Amino acid sequence: MRLVLNGSGASRGKALGRARLEQPSRFLVDETRLDEADVADEMARLEQALDSARADLRALRDKLRGPLAREVAEFIDAHSLILADPEFVNGLRDLVVQGRFHASAALKMQRDSLVAVFEAMDDPYLRSRREDIEHVIGRVQGALSRESSAEERKLASRVGEILVSDTVAPSELVPLAEHGVLGFVLTAGSTLSHSAILSRSLRLPMVVGAHEALSHLQDGDLLLVDGDRGEIIVHPTAQDLAGYRQWQRDIAQQGKRLERLRTVETRTVDGKAIALHANAEINADVAQARASGAAGIGLYRTEFLFLQRKEPPGEEEQFLAYRDLVLGMGGLPVTIRTLDLGADKIDSAGLALRDEPNPALGVRGVRLSLRTPKLMRTQLRAILRTTGYGPVRVLVPMISCVEEIDTVRALLKDCARDLRSEGHEIADHFELGAMIEVPAAAIALPGMIRHLDFVSIGTNDLIQYTLAVDRNNDELAGLYDPLHPAVLRLLALVIATGHRAGRAVAMCGEMAGDTRYTALLLALGLTEFSMHPGHLLEVRETVNALDHGALRRLAPKLLRATHRERIAELVGSMRVEVTATPEPLESSLD
């Protein structure tokens, strides 16, 4: 039966695939005893489920490709051996035939018995193998309780998988994508989490905050995931599938249209040149940025080098990664952000930091770097060594005061002096910039700007800190509003302050790559955008259809508006040419 589940779209696009539950223990188990006459039918159901689980594993193994294929195959083979183990299978049969238990109850009892054996083992590795039992039982339970037609099962066998889980770590996304996962449905999470950002980089649809997913889905259910609408259709109908095929055709047509913009200048209809840079964290982003005609890399997130490690990366490892990034951009400017981690993720980076009650307001970003000077010097040295290969800028996150800027600049000078004395060739001059993501930095920027070479606005955090809304709390998603009057006034203040001081002002937050806000940002005076490279051509198409002068004349009205409804109305009108008398932007900032 068709079912629609709702969440929040975190990564755009659609995917059709089979549900793969990461926590398959959440199955309804019927613990009542069977009548004697029903035992044979129940045993047939169990045998069919076992055969289905074995077939799924064989099909999955046949699809394995890439550098991790051997490692993943070992796990699949281990699961296949469990399903072929006579003791395991005979134990299930005895529970159904002799104990007259339902198949679901027999599976649960067998699971509990085997897990108890593994947990009693002294060897930590052997104890950890209980997860194999969990996965195997879950796969059989999914096959047992699967409610799908023969036609749907045939279709599901030809498509990849949709991971359904509470959360997924950023480090898990690439291996999952390499082995057939087409999209993600998460019961928790945020549209602005690191996992969501990386999912967008991989161009895999993701829906977060789908609270009912694990309780309503079974392994193998056919799902149609819509990352644009934040919707999951379970057991899609022929009409749903026809709509999906039409969407695929539309996307192909859009791709052909946007393809023609790869070598086109980004310039408004009245001739204003706009710079579109790309955000990057993996090699594929760099290649896509070059192919899309990006003006450079406006934000390289270095924290992805640090996650899921026992020890932080050394200078040479970091240098090689940054050098390849610079070389990959072929002489275009590259902005490398220093480590942006906090207590919520630092354990996975091999660094010790005590737990904090509120990591978002704790020791993170530049605060962490300055508390671990050895770590920061290692990273700064690695970055500076790349300046001989192309134009490189250093961007520091979580800046809130001028003293932090001065300290980082002093460290940069020390590292540069040491590198030159060691014989390394580095640039004579390198630019230092600050992420403006703390309201204090935005408000104090007039006094800090002369200490900086450029600034980049991180809207993700700036919005959450300004509105006191945790961007990772899906319960507050409705309050996280880029069109809030306070947010717009801070954005306008930062842009105007930077331009008056002759400093470059860019935006690297999610707003920059969202075409719903392109006209608004142009109206506020932004001329440098940095975004996921997959959004660059769409933003270029939007910019090239807009009138910059007309939009700038709307800015004072935007900044005087006190209600979000009025702001949304003004933003919606921005595609219409405006002929109102211009007013000075600065007057609206008093």
Check whether residue 283 and residue 137 sit in a common domain.
no
Q: Is the pLDDT of residue 419 over 90?
A: yes
> Do residues 240 and 224 lie in contact, with contact meaning Cβ atoms separated by under 8 Å?
yes
Check whether residue 317 and residue 203 sit in a common domain.
no
Instruction: Calculate the CA dihedral of residues 39, 43, 45, 48 and round it to 10 degrees.
Output: -160
What radius of gyration, in Å, describes the C-alpha atoms of the chain?
27
Q: What residue type is 560 in one-letter code? A: R
Which of 123-132, 366-375, 434-443 is predicted least confidently? Answer: 123-132
Which one of 194, 277, 532, 535 is the catalytic residue?
194
Check whether residue 272 and residue 240 sit in a common domain.
no
447 against 115, higher pLDDT: 447
Check whether residue 220 and residue 272 sit in a common domain.
no
Q: Is residue 254 part of a domain?
A: no
Q: Is residue 563 part of a domain?
A: yes
- List pLDDT tens digits, range 20-76: 887 544 555 677 888 889 899 989 989 988 888 888 778 766 765 544 455 456 667
Instruction: Calculate the CA dihedral of residues 581, 582, 583, 586 and round it to 10 degrees.
Output: 170
Start-to-end CA span in the chain (Å): 59
Check whether residue 423 and residue 396 sit in a common domain.
yes
Q: Is the pLDDT of residue 579 over 50?
A: no
Q: Is the pLDDT of residue 174 over 60?
A: yes
Check which CATH number belongs to the domain holding 92 and give it. Answer: 3.50.30.10
Which of 82-96, 128-142, 265-279, 478-492 is predicted least confidently? Answer: 128-142
Q: Is residue 253 part of a domain?
A: no
- List pLDDT tens digits, range 1-21: 899 999 989 898 999 998 888
**Per-residue confidence at 587, pLDDT binned at 50, 70, 90?**
very low
What is the spatial distance between Cα 310 and Cα 300, in angstroms, rounded to a whole number?
Answer: 22
Q: Is residue 185 part of a domain?
A: yes
Contacts of 66 (CB under 8 A, 6+ apart): 178, 179
379 against 120, higher pLDDT: 379
User: What is the average pLDDT score of the chain?
Assistant: 85
Q: Is residue 437 part of a domain?
A: yes
Check whether residue 522 and residue 494 sit in a common domain.
yes
Q: Is the pLDDT of residue 345 over 60?
A: no
pLDDT on residue 582:
37
Question: Is residue 194 among the annotated active site residues?
Answer: yes
Which of 163-177, 424-438, 486-500 is predicted least confidently? Answer: 163-177
* Residue of 318, 456, 326 whose CA lies nearest to 396: 456
Q: In this structure, what token pair is assigned to residue 127?
A: 């104890």
Q: Is residue 548 part of a domain?
A: yes
Convert 255-279 to b/e letters by CB count within 10 Å (16 or more is b). eeeeeebeeeebebeeebebbbbbb
Check whether residue 11 and residue 50 sit in a common domain.
yes
* Residue of 209, 171, 180 whose CA lies nearest to 192: 209
When divided into structural domains, the chain yields a total of 2
pTM of the model: 0.69
Check whether residue 151 and residue 290 sit in a common domain.
no
What is the spatial distance between Cα 301 and Cα 395, in angstroms, rounded to a whole number?
Answer: 10
Q: Is residue 32 part of a domain?
A: no
Check whether residue 143 and residue 206 sit in a common domain.
yes
Check whether residue 176 and residue 300 sit in a common domain.
no
Percent of the chain residues past pLDDT 90, beyond the cut: 51
What is the spatial distance between Cα 334 and Cα 321, in angstroms, rounded to a whole number?
Answer: 13
Convert 520-535 to b/e letters by CB count within 10 Å (16 or more is b). bbbbbbbbbbbbbbbb
What is the domain extent for residue 138? 3-26+39-248
Check whether residue 202 and residue 272 sit in a common domain.
no
Question: Is residue 563 among the annotated active site residues?
Answer: no
The 3-state secondary structure of 218-251, one letter per residue: CCCCEEEEECCCCEEEECCCHHHHHHHHHHHHHH
Domain boundary among 248, 272, 304: 248
Look-up of token digits 């939009």:
551
What is the spatial distance between Cα 325 and Cα 285, in angstroms, rounded to a whole number?
Answer: 10
Check whether residue 189 and residue 90 sit in a common domain.
yes
369 against 61, higher pLDDT: 369
What is the spatial distance between Cα 531 and Cα 73, in angstroms, rounded to a whole number?
Answer: 37
Domain boundary among 248, 275, 301: 248
pLDDT on residue 117:
79
Domain boundary among 188, 219, 248: 248
Check which CATH number belongs to the domain holding 267 and give it. Answer: 3.20.20.60
Convert 292-320 to b/e letters by CB count within 10 Å (16 or more is b). bbbbbbbbbbbbbbbbeeeebbeeeebbe
Which one of 508, 532, 535, 548 is the catalytic residue?
508
Q: Is the pLDDT of residue 271 over 90?
A: yes
Q: Is residue 33 part of a domain?
A: no
